[in-house]
Amino acid sequence: MMIQLENVTREYGDGKLVHALDGVSLTIDRGERVAVMGPSGSGKSTLLNLICGLDEPTSGVIRIDGADIAGLDDDARTRLRREKIGMIFQTFNLLPTLSATENVALPLRLQGLSRRDAETRANSMLGKVGLAGRSSHRPDELSGGERQRVAIARALIFDPPILLADEPTGNLDSHTGEEILTLLDNLHREYNTTVLMVTHNEEAAAYCDRVLRLRDGRVVKEEVVKATRLGG
Amino acid sequence: MFSLLAQITWKQWRVHRLRTLLTLMGIALGVAVFFAVRTANLTLISSLTLTIEKLAGKATLQITGGEAGFPEAVWDTVRDTPGVRVAQPVIEVIANTAFEDEGNLMVVGVDMLGDSELREYQFDEEGTEIADPLIALAQPDSILVSRIFAEKHNLKDGDKLPLFTSQGRKDFIVRGIIKPAGLGEIFGGQIAVMDVFNMQFVFNRGRNFDRIDLMNESDVTVDELQKRLRERLAAGIEVGRPASRGQGIENAVSAMRIGMTVASFVALLVGVFIIFNSFSISVNQRWKEIGILRALGVERPNVQRMFLGESVLMGIIGSALGVVLGFFFAVGAERVMSDIASKIFGYVATQQPPVFRWDYALTAFVVGVVTSLIGAWLPSRAASRLNPIMALHNIETRQRENVLGWTRMLIGAAMVVSGLALIRFAPARVKLDIQYGYSLLMLFGLILLLPKLTEWIARLMRPFFDRLFGSEGLIAVDTMILSPRRTSATVGALMIGLMFVFSMGAYVRSYQQTVSTWMDRMINSDIIISATEMARSRTYHFSEDLSKKVAGIPGVKRIENARIIFVPYADDSIAIVSLETEGWFLRVKDVIEEADSDKARESVIAGEGILAARNFAARYNLGVGDHIRLNTPTEIFDRPIVGIIEDYTSEKGSIFMDRALYKRYWNDSSVDIIEVNLEAGTNANAIKTEIQRVTKGEHRAFIYTNSEYKSWVLNLINGFFVLNYMQMAIAIIVAALGIINSLLISVSERKREIGVLRAIGGLRSQIRRMILLEASAIVIVGVLIGALAGLLNTYFLVRTASIMIGGYTVPFRFPIWIVIASLPFALIIALAAAWWPARKAVNLRVIEALGYE
Ligand SMILES: Nc1ncnc2c1ncn2[C@@H]1O[C@H](COP(=O)(O)OP(=O)(O)O)[C@@H](O)[C@H]1O
Ligand SMILES: [Mg+2]
What is the share, in percent, of chain B residues with pLDDT greater than 70?
89
User: Are residues B96 and B233 both part of a single domain?
Assistant: yes
Q: What's the CA gap between B578 and B481, in Å, rounded? A: 63
Q: Report yes or no on B710 lying in a domain.
A: no
Q: What is the mean pLDDT of residues B174-202?
A: 82
**Count of Cβ atoms closer than 10 Å to residue B9 Cβ:** 18
**Count of Cβ atoms closer than 10 Å to residue B545 Cβ:** 14
Q: Is A93 in CB contact (< 8 Å) with chain B?
A: yes
Q: Is B760 in CB contact (< 8 Å) with chain A?
A: yes
Phi-psi region of B321 (alpha: psi -120 to 50; beta: other; left: phi over 0): alpha
Distance A10 CA to ligand 1 centre (A): 10
User: Are residues B407 and B435 both part of a single domain?
Assistant: yes
**Count of Cβ atoms closer than 10 Å to residue B343 Cβ:** 18
Q: What's the CA gap between A17 and A59, in Å, rounded? A: 14
Pairing of strands B84-97, B160-165: antiparallel
Best mean pLDDT range from A161-165, B9-13, B401-405, B679-683: A161-165
User: At which of B357, B377, B397 does a domain end?
Assistant: B397
Cβ distance of A74 and B761 shorter than 8 Å: no
Alpha-carbon distances of A177 from A169, A171, A200, B829, rounded to whole Å: 5, 8, 12, 50
For A89-138, what is each residue's pLDDT tens digit? Answer: 888 888 877 889 989 998 898 888 888 899 999 999 999 999 998 999 98
Among A141-145, B120-124, B531-535, the minimum mean pLDDT is found in: B120-124
Which of B478, B846, B847 has its CB closest to that of A97?
Answer: B478
Ligand 1 contacts CB of residue A160 (under 6 A) = no
Confidence class of residue B590 from pLDDT cuts 50, 70 and 90? confident
Interface test with B, best of A72, A77, A78 (most B CBs within 10 A): A78
The one-letter amino acid code at B544 reads: E
Name the closest residue on chain B to residue A113, using Cα atoms. B470
Q: Report yes or no on B716 lying in a domain.
A: no
Q: What's the CA gap between A107 and A130, in Å, rounded? A: 20
* Phi (first) and psi of residue B634, to 5 degrees: -105, -80
For B129-152, what is each residue's pLDDT tens digit? Answer: 444 556 666 677 888 888 888 888
Cβ distance of A95 and B475 shorter than 8 Å: yes
Among A75-79, B101-105, B567-571, the minimum mean pLDDT is found in: B101-105
User: Any residues with CB less than 8 A from the CB of B739 and at least 6 apart, and which?
Assistant: B490, B493, B494, B775, B778, B779, B829, B830, B833, B834
Q: What's the CA gap between A111 and B623, in Å, rounded? A: 75
**Do the Cβ atoms of B175 and B149 come closer than 8 Å?**
no
Distance A52 CA to ligand 1 centre (A): 16
Q: What's the CA gap between B10 and B16, in Å, rounded? A: 10
Handedness of CA B547, B549, B553, B557 (dihedral sign): positive
Q: Is A74 in CB contact (< 8 Å) with chain B?
A: yes
Q: What is the mean pLDDT of residues B488-511?
A: 84
- Cβ-based contacts of A77 with chain B (< 8 Å): none
- For residue B130, the model assigns a pLDDT of 45
Confidence class of residue B513 from pLDDT cuts 50, 70 and 90? confident
* Phi (first) and psi of residue A77, to 5 degrees: -65, -40
pTM: 0.74
Query: What is the distance in angstroms between the CA of the first residue and the CA of the last residue of chain B?
Result: 27
**Do the Cβ atoms of B267 and B734 come closer than 8 Å?**
yes
User: Are residues B74 and B213 both part of a single domain?
Assistant: yes
- Give the SS3 label for residue B386: coil
Q: What's the CA gap between B148 and B192, in Å, rounded? A: 11
Query: What is the distance in angstroms between the CA of the first residue and the CA of the last residue of chain A?
Result: 28
- Cβ-based contacts of B466 with chain A (< 8 Å): 115
Q: Give the count of alpha carbons within 13 A of B243, CB side only.
A: 2
Q: Report yes or no on B379 lying in a domain.
A: yes
- Give the SS3 label for residue B636: coil
Q: Report yes or no on B128 lying in a domain.
A: yes
User: At which of B213, B240, B267 does a domain end?
Assistant: B240
Candidates B563, B635, B611, B25; CA nearest to B274 is B25
Distance A48 CA to ligand 2 centre (A): 9
Confidence class of residue A72 from pLDDT cuts 50, 70 and 90? confident
What is the share, in percent, of chain A residues with pLDDT greater than 70?
97
- Cβ-based contacts of A41 with chain B (< 8 Å): none
* Phi (first) and psi of residue B58, to 5 degrees: -90, 5
Asked if pLDDT for residue B122 goes beyond 70, the answer is no
Q: What's the CA gap between A122 and A109, in Å, rounded? A: 11
Q: Report yes or no on B706 lying in a domain.
A: no
**Count of Cβ atoms closer than 10 Å to residue A39 Cβ:** 12
Asked if pLDDT for residue B304 goes beyond 80, the answer is yes
Cβ distance of A110 and B478 shorter than 8 Å: no
User: Are residues B216 and B269 both part of a single domain?
Assistant: no
DSSP assignment string, B598-629: HHHHHHHHTTS-EEEEHHHHHHHT--TT-EEE
Asked if pLDDT for residue B327 goes beyond 80, the answer is yes
Q: What's the CA gap between B376 and B67, in Å, rounded? A: 53
User: Are residues B647 and B672 both part of a single domain?
Assistant: yes
- For residue B346, the model assigns a pLDDT of 64
State the SS3 of chain A: CCEEEEEEEEEECCCCCEEEEEEEEEEECCCCEEEEECCCCCCHHHHHHHHCCCCCCCEEEEEECCEECCCCCHHHHHHHHHHHEEEECCCCCCCCCCCHHHHHHHHHHHCCCCHHHHHHHHHHHHHHCCCHHHCCCCHHHCCHHHHHHHHHHHHHCCCCCEEEEECCCCCCCHHHHHHHHHHHHHHHHHHCCEEEEECCCHHHHCCCCEEEEEECCEEEEEEECCCHHHHC
Ligand 1 contacts CB of residue A46 (under 6 A) = yes
Cβ distance of B471 and A106 shorter than 8 Å: yes
Cβ distance of B761 and A89 shorter than 8 Å: no
* CB < 8 Å from A in window 454-473 of B: 466-467, 470-471
Chain A and chain B share a number of CB contacts under 8 A equal to 87
**Count of Cβ atoms closer than 10 Å to residue B704 Cβ:** 18
Alpha-carbon distances of B587 from B525, B528, B691, rounded to whole Å: 8, 14, 21
Q: What's the CA gap between B737 and B22, in Å, rounded? A: 7
Cβ distance of A110 and B764 shorter than 8 Å: no
- Cβ-based contacts of B471 with chain A (< 8 Å): 105-106, 109-110, 115
Phi-psi region of B815 (alpha: psi -120 to 50; beta: other; left: phi over 0): beta
- For residue A197, the model assigns a pLDDT of 94
User: Are residues B446 and B407 both part of a single domain?
Assistant: yes
For B634-669, what is each residue's pLDDT tens digit? Answer: 888 999 999 999 888 887 889 999 999 999 998 888
DSSP assignment string, B564-595: EEEEEETTEEEEEEEE-HHHHHHHS-S--BSS
Q: Is A54 in CB contact (< 8 Å) with chain B?
A: yes
Confidence class of residue A228 from pLDDT cuts 50, 70 and 90? low
Range of the domain at B42: 1-58+251-397
Q: Is B300 in CB contact (< 8 Å) with chain A?
A: no
For A167-203, what is each residue's pLDDT tens digit? Answer: 998 888 989 999 999 999 999 988 889 999 999 888 8
Q: What's the CA gap between B783 and B627, in Å, rounded? A: 50
Q: What's the CA gap between A131 and B440, in Å, rounded? A: 51
Distance A40 CA to ligand 1 centre (A): 9
Q: Report yes or no on B328 lying in a domain.
A: yes
Q: Report yes or no on B84 lying in a domain.
A: yes
Q: What's the CA gap between A106 and B471, in Å, rounded? A: 7
Q: What's the CA gap between B221 and B224, in Å, rounded? A: 5
Q: What's the CA gap between A213 and A223, in Å, rounded? A: 8
A116, β-bridge pairs: none
- For residue B388, the model assigns a pLDDT of 64
Q: How large is the ipTM?
A: 0.87
Element (H, E) at B495: helix B484-522
- For residue B396, the model assigns a pLDDT of 38
Q: Nearest CA to CA, how far is B468 from chain A (Å)?
A: 11
What does DSSP assign to residue B189?
A: G
User: Are residues B151 and B285 both part of a single domain?
Assistant: no
- For residue A147, the model assigns a pLDDT of 93
- Cα A44 to the chain's mean position, in Å? 12
Which segments within B614-751 are labelled E, that is strand? 627-630, 637-645, 654-658, 673-678, 702-705
Ligand 1 contacts CB of residue A199 (under 6 A) = no
Phi-psi region of B205 (alpha: psi -120 to 50; beta: other; left: phi over 0): alpha
Cβ distance of A115 and B397 shorter than 8 Å: no
The one-letter amino acid code at A172 reads: L
Q: What's the CA gap between B564 and B210, in Å, rounded? A: 16
- For residue A11, the model assigns a pLDDT of 92
User: At which of B378, B397, B416 does a domain end?
Assistant: B397
- Structural domains of chain A, ranges and CATH numbers in brackets: 3-231 (3.40.50.300)
What does DSSP assign to residue B328?
A: H
Which of A83, A95, A109 has its CB closest to that of B756?
Answer: A95
**Do the Cβ atoms of B120 and B183 come closer than 8 Å?**
yes
Asked if pLDDT for residue B405 goes beyond 60, the answer is yes
Q: Which ligand is nearest to the CA of A91?
A: 2
Q: Which residues of B693-703 are buried (b: 16+ CB within 10 A; e: fewer)?
A: ebbeebbbbbb
Atom number of ligand 1 nearest to Cα A21: 14
**Count of Cβ atoms closer than 10 Å to residue B355 Cβ:** 16
- For residue B802, the model assigns a pLDDT of 64
**Do the Cβ atoms of A182 and A201 come closer than 8 Å?**
no
The one-letter amino acid code at A61 reads: V
B638, β-bridge pairs: B629
- Cβ-based contacts of B481 with chain A (< 8 Å): 97
For atom 14 of ligand 1, the residue with the nearest CA is A43
Q: Report yes or no on B732 lying in a domain.
A: yes
Alpha-carbon distances of B119 from B194, B213, B221, B619, rounded to whole Å: 14, 10, 21, 42
User: Are residues B694 and B790 both part of a single domain?
Assistant: no
Top mutation candidate among A16, A21, A22, A42 for ligand 1, by most atoms within 8 Å of CB? A42
Name the closest residue on chain B to residue A115, using Cα atoms. B470
Please count the structural domains in chain B.
Answer: 4
Which of B397, B471, B753 has its CB closest to that of A109?
Answer: B471
User: Are residues B550 and B582 both part of a single domain?
Assistant: yes
Atom number of ligand 1 nearest to Cα A217: 14
For B225-238, what is each residue's pLDDT tens digit? Answer: 999 998 888 877 88
Confidence class of residue B244 from pLDDT cuts 50, 70 and 90? confident
User: Are residues B49 and B72 both part of a single domain?
Assistant: no
Q: Is B846 in CB contact (< 8 Å) with chain A?
A: yes
Asked if pLDDT for residue B852 goes beyond 60, the answer is no
Which of A98, A107, A139 has its CB closest to that of B760?
Answer: A107
Pairing of strands A3-12, A59-64: antiparallel
User: Are residues B287 and B218 both part of a single domain?
Assistant: no
Q: How many residues does chain A have?
A: 232
User: Are residues B279 and B389 both part of a single domain?
Assistant: yes
Ligand 1 contacts CB of residue A201 (under 6 A) = no
Distance B359 CA to ligand 2 centre (A): 60
- Cβ-based contacts of A140 with chain B (< 8 Å): 395, 397, 400
- For residue A127, the model assigns a pLDDT of 93
For B737-785, what is each residue's pLDDT tens digit? Answer: 777 777 777 777 777 888 888 888 888 999 999 889 988 998 899 999 9
Distance A18 CA to ligand 1 centre (A): 8
**Do the Cβ atoms of B844 and B754 come closer than 8 Å?**
yes
